[in-house]
Amino acid sequence: MRQRINAVVTAGFAALSVFAMAPAAAQAPYPDKPVTLVVPFAAGGPTDVVARMLAIPMGKSLGQSVLVENTVGAGGTIAATKVARAAPNGYTLFIHHMGMSTAPALYKKLSFDPMKDYEYIGQVVDVPMTLLARKDFPPANYKELEAYVRANKDKVSLANAGLGAVSHLCGLLFMSQIGVELNTIPYKGTGPAMNDLLGGQVDLLCDQTTQTVPMIKDGRVKVYGVTTLKRLDALPNVPTLDEQGLKGFEVKVWHGLYAPKGTPAPVLEKINVALRAALADPMVKTRLAELSSDIPPSDKLTPAGLKNHLEAEIAKWGPVIKKAGIYAD
């Protein structure tokens, strides 16, 4: 059985903006064509939801469309590699979650370096998770779930979005805390995993509220708990996993916006302004609040805010993952 993994994923660092130092030659006519925002998971999932929510207001601020492109597979590492090799001209941007910080320890061979191959634009949003089951899964509540999976561990399936996905980490955390190993089924994102949960092809899924709140509210899935230590405003009747006995169970998923290394500072500044404008958009703010997702404080919406956080997260996860012995083959 894998050793316990403790996940606390929202530590922050004070940040300074480097944009104030951009040279005056910054008046490049950027952008003069649509900008691509690469999402490392399938359409319809939580990362995709956030990207599409931001794309329209960012496009308004930039004066050009921001087109979302889903480049899927290998827990987000295929997209990260592609962006690392893209032209550093501001026309390729990348949104990824905390998988950027776990990939270096999870993958023995990684064809990108999170600390060397990117420019950092800013943190984006912090999103809790929920532990769900297909609607007709027998256990009625978390206590029953624990007993049920212990008794039926060979039959119960747990979906995730691949090694490096937060659904994978959340599932590992759940299994390690209760000391049971289930059959895990990887997808190219939790969008398709959710489709299979709705269709009854898989039993369990741990996923971000950016996808799950509407499903829970509509009663399309069964929910066993939220992964924060406090209940969520959007789901006040759903208990935390912590309060139901999974002591200290806490996963909140941070996200960052990146560009390929070498993207010019004035271009990065424009993108940062667009990111901030999108996160200040009343419709975006309302929607994120409805999904119990938090916009980070202003000092985190900066290159240094993202870079420092990423660095700290890599340092935190490396030893935990090594100790747990989880690697890609």
Residues of this chain that interact with ligand ASP (CB under 6 A) are: 41-42, 45-48, 97, 161, 165-167, 189-191, 207-208
CB of residue 26 vs ligand ASP: minimum separation in angstroms? 34
By CB atoms closer than 10 A (0-12, 13-18, 19+), residue 315 is: exposed
Of 8, 2, 46, residue with least CA distance to 249 = 8
Contacts of 236 by beta carbon, 8 Å cutoff, 6+ apart: none
CB of residue 19 vs ligand ASP: minimum separation in angstroms? 29
Q: Which helix (H) or strand (E) holds 124?
A: strand 118-134
In whole angstroms, give the CA distance from residue 133 to residue 204: 4
CB of residue 5 vs ligand ASP: minimum separation in angstroms? 15
In this structure, the dihedral spanned by the alpha carbons of residues 314, 319, 320 and 321, taken in order and rounded to 10 degrees, is 80
Please give the distance of CA 281 from its chain centroid, rounded to a whole number: 21
Closest CB to ligand ASP among residues 167, 227: 167
**Whether the Cβ atoms of residue 111 and residue 248 lie closer than 8 Å to each other:** no
Closest CB to ligand ASP among residues 41, 107: 41
Closest CB to ligand ASP among residues 31, 45: 45
Closest CB to ligand ASP among residues 164, 305: 164
Closest CB to ligand ASP among residues 110, 277: 110
CB of residue 299 vs ligand ASP: minimum separation in angstroms? 26
